[in-house]
Structure 1
Amino acid sequence: MVQGTQDADKQDGGPEFAQVFVIVWLGAAVVTMNTKLLGGTISFFQSVCVLGYCLLPSCLSLILCRLILIAHQNRILFLLRFIVTCIGFAWATFAAMVFLGDSQPSSRKTLAVYPIFLFYFIISWLIISHSNV
């Protein structure tokens, strides 16, 4: 009875949700703090909203990667997953830069992009590194 309960707990997706939830909130806190230190005007909740909305391309790449994982894996399919993830990463980073770039002084926009880049890089790394079906 206990073994069946443990197997069901592994299948519910709890740890994955918790990881993404914490990463999004910590990422938004870092992006907000960086923006404030650079002289920008953005609140924490604006940062959470923009970073959350800009996760859509990463979510689409996750769905495509999960569909690709159904097939027998080889180097070509991994390369396809990598390309799909890179496109989602670039799209999400660009979209967040467009939204959050207006809250920065023009001379410091490059410094403000770095934590956004790292945030979406970590999310993309989680997408590409997930290899079991």
Structure 2
Amino acid sequence: MAAAEEHNRPLFDGLSNVSVADNIPVEGEITIPVPSQSQDDDSSTLDEPVKDTIMRDVKAVGKKFVHVLFPKKSSALLRDWDLWGPLILCVSLALMLQGGSTNSKKDDGGPQFAEVFVIIWFGAVVITLNSKLLGGTLSFFQSLCVLGYCIMPLTVAMVVCRLIFLGSSGKVGFAFRFVVVVTSFGWSTFASTAFLADSQPPNRKALAVYPIFLFYFVIGWMVLTFVPSSK
């Protein structure tokens, strides 16, 4: 019987005796939190002027050249990789090597340009694949970026050799060119290994460095043996 009376009692019976204290706020504002702008939105370049985009890329390429001139264990060259610098260096070197004495009987230096271009990029790809097969931790394009940017000392050596030919082409000139090319070859090899050697297992570093040595040796040999065609 008591259970039946309890069941028939109104649901909100007893709430009329509840009092609300005066110091308890019973009204306020409902605000919807606005999410803060993410870092990705701040770094968006969709609305950036083309001039600013180009200048930012040029500065990034210039910083990578500085890393090659002063090689140190830095992740900047590996983290922000690009192929603009290697492409510029490859084209510049191929253009300067075009029209040598070995190609003087030809009317067009195009094949020689293509040969230099293919040797550089094919060699970089082979070294990268070798590095990956040996268990390297760098990605394919990171390795290409490092190998391409480290051609810069040999490209500078080619410019110096061109200038030496304007003054002297005898034994003295060859001696100067030899010193410049050997120094640039050592610099390119040292700079590339400073970035790539640590990505290899300790017991396989020699197998990874040896193809790099041959790669820059071939490019240095092309620079050293270059003789302008006499017209």
Q: TM-score range by the shorter chain?
A: 0.7 to 0.9
CA RMSD of aligned residues (A): 1.9
- Corresponding residue for 1:40? 136
Name the % identity.
55
Among candidates 22, 26, 46, match of residue 122 of structure 2: 26
Among candidates 31, 54, 62, match of residue 150 of structure 2: 54
Q: Which amino acid aligns with 1:72?
A: S
- Corresponding residue for 2:189? 93
State the distance in 1 between where 2:113 and 2:122 align. 14
Among candidates 198, 222, 228, match of residue 102 of structure 1: 198
**Cα pair 1:24 1:48 within 8 Å, conserved:** no
TM-score, reference length from structure 1: 0.85
Q: Which amino acid aligns with 1:64?
A: V
- Corresponding residue for 2:218? 122
- Corresponding residue for 2:174? 78
Relative CO higher for 1 or 2, CA cutoff 8 Å, sep ≥ 6?
A: 1
Query: Mind listing any 5+ residue stretches in structure 1 that lack a counterpart?
Result: 1-6
State the distance in 1 between where 2:132 and 2:224 align. 32
Q: Which amino acid aligns with 2:176?
A: L
**Cα pair 1:89 1:121 within 8 Å, conserved:** yes
State the distance in 1 between where 2:184 and 2:114 align. 22
1:113 aligns with 2:209: yes
Q: Deviations over 1:38-57 (max 9, x none)?
A: 11122322222111100110
Q: Which amino acid aligns with 2:211?
A: P
Query: Mind listing any 5+ residue stretches in structure 2 that lack a counterpart?
Result: 1-104
Larger CA deviation: 52-61 vs 17-26: 17-26
1:15 deviates by 3.2
Q: Number of residues paired by the alignment?
A: 125
TM-score, reference length from structure 2: 0.50
